[in-house]
Each structure stands twice: as structure tokens, then as C-alpha cells.
């Protein structure tokens, strides 16, 4: 049987942190035997917020290097840059013309990003869910790994695809959401009530994949916990629960065995143990990243090959949509 096809995208802004890795990238790597994966550096999405052009260009290749360092295998998966396939933007325009304003105005991320960037509330920021829908629908995928915060956008994608198929004729496969059961939502170390974010200004908010061992240890030691003394998986104790979840994912131990391991121990011992596990797990990623960044030509070649491998799928879908709406 043919593998199911999956699409995932990630923006080249900010620095990749533990939440990105555990909530998305690690799952991408682990799923490469199970699915036909299409991974995309979605740099066109990044410009809904003002970017320094040179920095965006550099960040795009740095992100590709990090994904490769994390274990994305281009013999098993497709990896490319969004802006190098013009059909993404072209299909987004067709979808724009078939999405009601009311549907767009209900997108909660537009409201959140508008509040954070009140001086740059542009049209792209408002309608970028259409581009996200185009990213997905171009490749006739079966599923999309999403966090809880992206479910609304995938529902919009599904709605516009079903409506288009109904009104114009069969064109798009309807994708299903794939939500990881563990690690889908890693919280900030300084504020465990808030999801770990690239944009947070807190010095101890996030663990970045390229952080030094010393920085990782220091951040975990300052992580917010509570005044209790027992170390157990209790979702009502947000700081502790977040730390234990991180430890669970990296060690692959059962919750029962983790609770037994730290029975009678304090938060200091827990934090040190988590930091050590994370440091050793991220060490090979940092080392591979440094080697890759020493040969940017190799990264460019890998990305060009990835774009070439998926371009026929994108082109075929776009030409079908274009024909159905009457464009020549």
C-alpha cells in the first residue's frame, strides 16, 4: 500500500526552541518511515510581519540546516522552500476569491498577531490562512500534523476545499488533522501557563536547539514550579507538569517509573536531571548543524532537489484549479 502523504511547514523567523522540536520537528523525523512527508520552509508567511531581507534569507537556510540536523532525511522526505514554487501564491489567490470575509475575520491568530503588531496590520496578515490552505491543498495530502492553535486554520482549509470541489468539480483531497498525543504543547519555563514561543522576550522562557549546555542548565534551574513537595504528573501544577512532560518525551520512560525515580527528591534534582537529558539529546543536533552550515552550497542543492521533486504535484493541482474556475 502507498504511504499516506503528509504536509508540514515551519517559518524561518526567530530561533527553533524545544516547543517547536518536541511539538513538531521530532514527530516529523519519527514519522518518516510511516508517511510520505512534504516539509516546507514557509518563508512567504514570514513577511506578513516586517523582516530584514538579508536576515530572512539567512534564517531560511539556517532553518533548513536545523531540520536536516534534527534528522530530516531527504531520501525519505521532501524538503524545500515555499517561495521557490510559485504555485503556492497563485493558488492562494484562487482560494482568496472563494473564502468569505466572515470566515477570515474569525481567525483567532489574526487577532493575536494584530495586537502584537498594531503598526503593521496588513492584508497579508489578514488572509494568510488562504496561503496556508494553498500550501496544504497543492500537494493532495492525506493529513497535516497540527498543534491545537492551528486546528482552526486546518478547518478553514478543509471547508474551502470541500466548497471548491462542490462548486467547480473535484480538485482537492480533504486533509485530516494529525495531533500528537504527547508533546504537542510545550509551555514556557518562566510562565507555564503560556505556550513556549519564539517571540517571548523572557531570558529564561525557552530552550533553543542551539543553546550551549551551560545556558540549558541555567534555564532549567530557573524554571517555574510551585511550593509542593511531591513530584507527580498533575496537570493542575502547570510548571511541574511541563517539566515532567519534557523529561517523559526525551527519556521514553513511563509516567509511573518517572514518579518512582523522583520519589522523595526535590525540584533541584529533577531540574538537573531534565537539563542533563536535554543537553545530551541536543548535542548531536548542534554538532550536525555546525557541519552543515559550513557548506551552504550543499544545503542549497538539497533544497533545489526537494523543490524539483514536488513541483509536478503542485503544478498539476494548480492547473486543475485554474482550469475549473475558467482561467486560461
Active site residues: 113, 195, 198
Residue 48 neighbours by CB under 8 Å, 6+ apart: 113, 122, 124, 125, 128
DSSP run (H or E) holding 36: strand 36-41
Alpha helix locations (H) across the chain? 18-20, 26-30, 43-46, 53-70, 87-96, 101-105, 108-116, 123-137, 151-168, 213-221, 238-251, 255-261, 267-293, 296-324
Q: Is 149 helix (H, G, I), strand (E, B) or coil?
A: helix
Backbone angles phi, psi at 78, to 5 degrees: -95, 130
Q: Tell me whether residue 296 is exposed, middle or buried, using C-beta atoms within 10 angstroms of its C-beta: 0 to 12, 13 to 18, 19 or more.
A: middle
The three cell numbers of residue 212 are 550551549
Amino acid at each position: 500500500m502507498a504511504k499516506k502523504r503528509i504536509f508540514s511547514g515551519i517559518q524561518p523567523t526567530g530561533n527553533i526552541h524545544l516547543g517547536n522540536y518536541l511539538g513538531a520537528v521530532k514527530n516529523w523525523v519519527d514519522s518518516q518511515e510511516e508517511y510520505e512527508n512534504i516539509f516546507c520552509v514557509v518563508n512567504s508567511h514570514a513577511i506578513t510581519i516586517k523582516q530584514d531581507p538579508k536576515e530572512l534569507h539567512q534564517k531560511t537556510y539556517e532553518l533548513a540546516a536545523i531540520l536536516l540536523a534534527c534528522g530530516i532525511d531527504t531520501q525519505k522526505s521532501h524538503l524545500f522552500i515555499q517561495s521557490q514554487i510559485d504555485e503556492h501564491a497563485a493558488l492562494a489567490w484562487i482560494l482568496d476569491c472563494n473564502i468569505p470575509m466572515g470566515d477570515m475575520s474569525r481567525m483567532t491568530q489574526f487577532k493575536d498577531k494584530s495586537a502584537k503588531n498594531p503598526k503593521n496590520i496588513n492584508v497579508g496578515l489578514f488572509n494568510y490562512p488562504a496561503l496556508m490552505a494553498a500550501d496544504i491543498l497543492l500537494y493532495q495530502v492525506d493529513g497535516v500534523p497540527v498543534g491545537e492553535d492551528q486546528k482552526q486554520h486546518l478547518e478553514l482549509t478543509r471547508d474551502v476545499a470541500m466548497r471548491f470541489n462542490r462548486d467547480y468539480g473535484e480538485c482537492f483531497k480533504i486533509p485530516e488533522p494529525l495531533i500528537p498525543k504527547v508533546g504537542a504543547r510545550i509551555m514556557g519555563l518562566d510562565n507555564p501557563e503560556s505556550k513556549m514561543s519564539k517571540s517571548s522576550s523572557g531570558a529564561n522562557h525557552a530552550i533553543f536547539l542551539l543553546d550551549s549546555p551551560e545556558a540549558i542548565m541555567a534555564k532549567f534551574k530557573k524554571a517555574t514550579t510551585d511550593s509542593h513537595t511531591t513530584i507527580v504528573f498533575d496537570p493542575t501544577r502547570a510548571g511541574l507538569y511541563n517539566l515532567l512532560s519534557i523529561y517523559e518525551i526525551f527519556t521514553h520512560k513511563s509516567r509511573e517509573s518517572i514518579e518512582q525515580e523522583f520519589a522523595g527528591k526535590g525540584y533541584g534534582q529533577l531540574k538537573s536531571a531534565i537539563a542533563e537529558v536535554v543537553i545530551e539529546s541536543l548535542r548531536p543536533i548542534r554538532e550536525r548543524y555546525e557541519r552543515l552550515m559550513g557548506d551552504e552550497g550543499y544545503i542549497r542543492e538539497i533544497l533545489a532537489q526537494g523543490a524539483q521533486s514536488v513541483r509536478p504535484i503542485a503544478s498539476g493541482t494548480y492547473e486543475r484549479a485554474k482550469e475549473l474556475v475558467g482561467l486560461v
